[in-house]
Amino acid sequence: MKLIFFDEAKNDPDYPHYHLGAVSIDEKHLSEIEGKISAIAETSFGTSALSAATELHAAEIYHRKNNFKDWPDFGKRIEVIAEIAKVLSIEEARLISIQVNCNRLRGNQSPSEIAFMFLCERANDLARSTESLGMLIGDRENDRSSERYSTTLSGYRASGTEFAFGRNIHNLVDSVHFTHSHLSRFLQLADVYTWLLQFRNRNRESKDARHCALLDVLKRDKIDLGPAKYKEWPKS
């Protein structure tokens, strides 16, 4: 079975794109990858124990907030992001990137609903490619959004996805499962990936020194965030 951990980049009125990022990990590789992320937490906080005080969130690392507010050295902070990006780059972590271009949507189309539909399709394709099953796991922010995602997936499993050339969703099991991000290193991994998707797209032409420093990190030889599956819609 493949466990597919996903996260979203929150809506920003000054940024006309919505991102969903996911990390798909086969069950046989879970322990190995968890060990790699836990080692980063151990180095950063002196313990690998899961708690809100040892969460690894890209925005907080980059902007020196919450668990990283006492880290004044910007270079050290982006090296933490670099180490997480190396984990995202290994072959056993398969990435899914969904980008919805909000300024090209029509009427009352919802970026989050469209992105989730494409995530279900790509996650299903990834599981089907190895004749396995997949389970979607997201960050439990509130019960309403959790129920909405689960109900939506149930509908896709019953009737397929909604757009022209919609897909049958037969390789994703049950409903979407949710837990709090401070209780899952894998959700923290998905958080960093999704944040980096929007950061790279938002700042690709920036001349700001800090933006360029992180963009240069993402060009290192051992870092490759190219997705196994992706969708950009509507095309810009």
- CATH number of the domain encompassing residue 88: 3.30.420.10
Structurally, the chain folds into a number of domains equal to 1
| Residue 236: pLDDT band with limits 50, 70, 90 | low
Q: How far apart are the first and last CA of the chain?
A: 35
Backbone conformation region of residue 149, classed left if phi is above 0, alpha if psi is from -120 to 50, else beta: alpha
* Per-residue pLDDT at 96 exceeds 90: yes
What is the C-alpha to C-alpha distance for residues 46 and 182, in angstroms, rounded to an integer?
16
- Which residues partner with 202 through β-bridges? none
Residue 95: C-alpha distances to residues 13, 64, 216, 218 (Å): 26, 26, 20, 15
What is the C-alpha to C-alpha distance for residues 156 and 206, in angstroms, rounded to an integer?
40
Print the domain residue range for 54.
2-233
pTM: 0.94
Element (H, E) at 6: strand 2-8
Model pLDDT, residue 164: 64
Percent of the chain with pLDDT over 70: 97
Model pLDDT, residue 151: 83
* Per-residue pLDDT at 146 exceeds 80: no
- Among 34, 19, 50, 29, which Cα is nearest to 189's? 34
* Per-residue pLDDT at 149 exceeds 80: no
Backbone φ and ψ of 30, nearest 5°:
-60, -45
* Per-residue pLDDT at 143 exceeds 70: no
Instruction: Give the list of residues 6+ apart from residue 190 with CB closer than 8 angstroms, or none.
Output: 5, 6, 7, 21, 22, 23, 139
The tokens describing 92, both together, are 């056993």
* Per-residue pLDDT at 142 exceeds 70: no
* Per-residue pLDDT at 141 exceeds 90: no
Model pLDDT, residue 132: 95
Instruction: Mean pLDDT check: name the lowest of 31-35, 46-50, 121-125, 166-170.
Output: 166-170
* Per-residue pLDDT at 144 exceeds 60: no
In 3-state terms, what secondary structure has residue 190? helix
> Strands 17-26, 2-8: parallel, antiparallel or unpaired by DSSP?
antiparallel
